[in-house]
Amino acid sequence: MSSDWFDRLGRNPHLLPPQARANRGSVAISKLLADRRVSERMPTAELARQQGSALLDLARHCAAASPHFASRLATAGLTPEALAAPDGLAKLPPLTRQALVNAGESLFCHAYPRAHGGISTTSTSGSTGEPVTVKRTELCTLQWMVYTLREHLWHDRDFSGRLATLRANISEAAESADWGQPCTFLFRTGAWSGRPASLSVEELCRWLGEFDPDYLLILPSTLAGIVAELERTGRRLPRLRGVRTLSETVSVRLREDVRRVLGVGVDDVYTSQEFGVMATQCPEHGTYHVSESILLEVVDAEGRACRPGEIGRVLVTDLVNYATPLIRYEIGDYAEVGTPCACGRGLPTIRRFLGRERNLVLLPDGTRHWPVVGFHRWGEVHTIRQFQFIQLDRQTILAKLSAPARPSAEQEAQLTRIIQEELQHPFEIRYAWQEEPLPRGPGGKFEEFLCRAE
Ligand SMILES: [Zn+2]
């Protein structure tokens, strides 16, 4: 179906007439979409060759325009040519968040191509405190919009539908007659309504019931609360055709819950303020396809490239940002490398994104792995609505659980056995039960596993 998304674009009944599109400045976007149709079907080796050439151009520019990047290259004993050679990138030590903050103004390029448009500055506080400031060009924004549009087209969304958006960056209730950019560059769209994620779950469910959306754009943790509330009250969203998530990890369990309660799938997009859309879920197979202008490496504790099925740290390179050299930036997330996708797209794949280091379990021998806690098995023992595990030290985990009733001592012992088995270590599990939902962290995020051990 989606192999001909670009052909379908031409036949889309909501596509604006050519003159109206031109008036809205969609020429560059239309051209880039046509390019993306070609690039996503390229054999992986050809795409890698073109990306290598783009990396060489980027490295030459940044070596001349960014004192900090020039010094990084020199310290590693590299030239732009050596960096862009096969396996060259792996010789450059990653750029940490701290190093980026410390670099200050010396990081930014003092010149950049006029054709890339004006500069905007974006600051993200992140979850670890110190804000990171990155400069981006209009070309970066344009790429972001093109990937967003392509994601809509891959998933064959009906632009005449009603879109509800729930995110942290909406400060108050807002309504609009259309979905806004980038969709309005090309399409006539249905109505839009937005709410801040800070509202209570009850308020959000009431609003969703009234607005009756076709599509929902939402943070996974907010989605989890809404799904639980809708399931509890038996209310449904009858028009709903799809859910799009971003910004946080989507668990397998949440995907199952959404399918069961709302009857639709979740299409996740891996994005950040610094990089825009880094990876998009395949419409046919669910694996994540990495955007063409992004190099996304996954490396193990020793810095070696992970193989398919292995989990490691994510390093990101933005091939179009000529204002800030984001080259091998350690974004702080973990991911599992995917295998080539059967859909035929040559874009590299990531099987899943796993969140941050503090969301990994720490074993007594010092190794960390992604915590599987066996939630799908708990139902055999006791009804549990929500959980949060806090690892206190290398032997002890506090399990905070929201449940309609307290379990017996025997049930608790059964749960402990399941959790120990799934975590692959006989941790001491301490329980804290409550009937109310578990509270969120600062910024409205919710983390199911938090490691406080060292
Ligand atoms: Zn695919």
Ion ligand 1 contact residues with beta carbon within 5 A: 282, 285, 341, 343, 345
How confident is the model at residue 1, as a pLDDT?
47
**10-residue stretch averages of pLDDT, the chain, 454 residues long:** 78 93 89 95 95 98 98 98 96 94 94 95 67 93 96 96 88 94 96 89 93 95 86 93 90 90 96 94 96 97 94 96 98 93 95 84 82 82 89 96 93 95 93 88 71 89
- Residue 346 Cα, ligand 1 centroid: separation in angstroms? 8
Q: Which residues pair with 279 in a beta bridge?
A: 270, 290
- Render 90-150 in DSSP notation, one character per residue: GGSPPB-HHHHHHHGGGGS-S---GGG--EEEEEE--SSSS-EEEEEEHHHHHHHHHHHHH
Distance CA 271, CA 278 (A): 5
- Residue 44 Cα, ligand 1 centroid: separation in angstroms? 13
- Residue 343 Cα, ligand 1 centroid: separation in angstroms? 4
- Residue 231 Cα, ligand 1 centroid: separation in angstroms? 32
- Residue 167 Cα, ligand 1 centroid: separation in angstroms? 27
Residues in the chain: 454
Distance CA 286, CA 374 (A): 22
How confident is the model at residue 200, as a pLDDT?
82
- Residue 272 Cα, ligand 1 centroid: separation in angstroms? 22
| Structure token pair of residue 25 | 């400045």
How confident is the model at residue 373, as a pLDDT?
84
| Structure token pair of residue 449 | 């596993």
| Structure token pair of residue 253 | 């369990």
- Residue 289 Cα, ligand 1 centroid: separation in angstroms? 7
- Residue 202 Cα, ligand 1 centroid: separation in angstroms? 37
Domains in the chain with CATH codes: 361-451 (3.30.300)
- Residue 2 Cα, ligand 1 centroid: separation in angstroms? 10
User: Which whole-number Å values give the CA distances from 90 to 82, 209, 400, in the listed order?
Assistant: 11, 50, 41
How confident is the model at residue 2, as a pLDDT?
45
